[in-house]
Amino acid sequence: MTSSKVQRVPVTAAPLRQQVASNLRTAIIDGRFQPGERLKEGELCAWTGVSRTAVREALRQLEAEGIVDNIPNQGPVVARVSPDEARQHYEVRAMLEGLTARSAAEKITEAQTRELQKVKRDLDRAFKSGSIAKVLECKNVLDEFLMSVSSNSVVKGFVSVIRARLSYLRPIVLSQPERLKENAVEVHAIIDAIIAGKPQAAWQAAVNHVNMGAKATLKMLEQLEAAAAHQAALDAEAALRAKRPRGRPRRDVAPNNPVGRVTV
């Protein structure tokens, strides 16, 4: 059996469907599944340790959230995102993350401030290392920390869904050297505003960070779509060539016929 991409679900977890959906959502956010990858019930059952019924219910929930697509004759797959869908997601995400940062700046305690300073040092080391994996890991820690401080479960639920839909794009965008440097500056601005207890500055820094990420992501998505369309055209042309009968070419379609055909 291949290594598990999804955490096992404790038998005491209730309701079971939500726990399975949460584990699957986390696995997609962490990039353990790629866009278009099939989500096979048998593997998911083995990895999570639950029944097919629980897995199917969880997949239906993720389909309702837009994280999973159910393809006829293929089954559930991780959903892809179009540029227009991504733009809409980022518009909502900017408001939600701005709200989270503002709330964190208002509610953060001295003990949490010290913890946030440690998170900032970890982020600094990750950015200096240039490792995209380490940066994403530390940013996930920061996101969870700020959600915890703001203590708004409704916002957390919406943000989790949006992040899951866009998660596969994060390493692609951050692989651009200029975006990695910009990211470090933007994240520092959010953290510094929260530590300083400036809610409005924290809001503005968080909204700016999401908007900058949206700009880079949409540019990348449009490039990927253009490349995919070009490849599809090449594949279609190759398929047409493969269907043409082999042997001597028909005289009426000869590519370089130097003599005009004679009508009888």
Instruction: Note the pLDDT tens digit of each residue in 139-167.
Output: 999 999 999 999 999 999 899 888 888 88
Q: Please answer whether residues 191 and 127 qualify as being in contact, where contact means their C-beta atoms are separated by less than 8 angstroms.
A: no
In the chain, pLDDT over 90 holds for what percent of residues?
51
Nearest to 93 by CA among 219, 225, 212: 212
Q: How far apart are CA 99 and CA 93, in angstroms?
A: 10
Distance of CA 33 to the CA centre of its chain: 10
Confidence band, pLDDT 50/70/90 cuts, at residue 263:
low
What pLDDT is recorded for position 22?
Answer: 86
Confidence band, pLDDT 50/70/90 cuts, at residue 14:
low
* Per-residue pLDDT tens over the stretch 204-246: 999 999 999 999 988 888 887 788 788 888 888 888 888 876 6
Q: Which two tokens stand for residue 90?
A: 């980022």
Confidence band, pLDDT 50/70/90 cuts, at residue 56:
very high
DSSP code per residue over 87-102: HHHHHHHHHHHHHHHH
- The reply to whether CATH 2.60.120.10 applies to domain 16-78 is no
Q: Please answer whether residues 51 and 13 qualify as being in contact, where contact means their C-beta atoms are separated by less than 8 angstroms.
A: no
Domain at 83-220, CATH homologous superfamily: GntR ligand-binding domain-like (1.20.120.530)
Confidence band, pLDDT 50/70/90 cuts, at residue 260:
very low
Q: Which two tokens stand for residue 183?
A: 């990211």
Q: Please answer whether residues 165 and 81 qualify as being in contact, where contact means their C-beta atoms are separated by less than 8 angstroms.
A: yes
Looking at the chain, which residues constitute the CATH 1.20.120.530 domain(s)?
83-220
Compute CA distances 54 → 4, 8, 20, whole Å. Answer: 17, 13, 7
Confidence band, pLDDT 50/70/90 cuts, at residue 13:
very low
Q: If you average pLDDT over every residue of the chain, what do you get?
A: 86
Q: How far apart are CA 229 and CA 204, in angstroms?
A: 37
Q: How far apart are CA 55 and CA 198, in angstroms?
A: 44
Q: Please answer whether residues 176 and 219 qualify as being in contact, where contact means their C-beta atoms are separated by less than 8 angstroms.
A: no
Q: Please answer whether residues 205 and 190 qualify as being in contact, where contact means their C-beta atoms are separated by less than 8 angstroms.
A: yes
Nearest to 174 by CA among 132, 212, 122: 132
Compute CA distances 188 → 71, 101, 103, 106, 195, whole Å. Answer: 42, 12, 17, 18, 10
What pLDDT is recorded for position 232?
Answer: 81
Looking at the chain, which residues constitute the CATH 1.10.10.10 domain(s)?
16-78
Bond preceding residue 249 cis, omega within 30 of 0: no
Confidence band, pLDDT 50/70/90 cuts, at residue 122:
very high
